[in-house]
Amino acid sequence: MKLFTIALSALALCGAALAAPIDTLTAHFTSPVSIGDKVLPAGEVTFSVIHGTSSMLLVARTANNEAAAVMVNRQYQSDDSRKSEVVLNKTGNTLKLDSVCVDGISYAVADGQ
């Protein structure tokens, strides 16, 4: 009976992890973009913000399944205009992801990422 309880507890934890809310946004880039330590090629990129219990992860995936992931922090703003956008910073010839806004909720790339 104890083994059965442990198995059900593990199954419940896995289900809770899979049920975490996910915000999604798709963007098209005309040049490569640096996300974390990885450079994704130009083209369509789908961003998914996965909400954890104490942190949020931003996963960027291209059409050919190349992916990059970085930790993000939610940015609270008084102006909730319900817009979606991707904000990039340019340093020299490199475009680097700064933040993503999905339906008016902004997520900034964590420091050091």
- Phi (first) and psi of residue 93, to 5 degrees: -105, 10
Residue at 34 is within a domain: yes
Q: Is the pLDDT of residue 18 over 60?
A: no
- Say if 11 falls within a structural domain: no
Share of the chain above pLDDT 90, in %: 46
| Counted domains in the chain | 1
Prediction pTM value: 0.74
CB 102 within 8 A of CB 84: yes
CA-to-CA distance for 98 and 113, rounded, in angstroms?
10
pLDDT of residue 1: 45
> CB 107: neighbour CB atoms within 10 A?
23
Is 15 within the bounds of a domain? Answer: no
Task: Return the structure tokens found at 61.
Answer: 């995936």
Domain that holds residue 27: 21-109
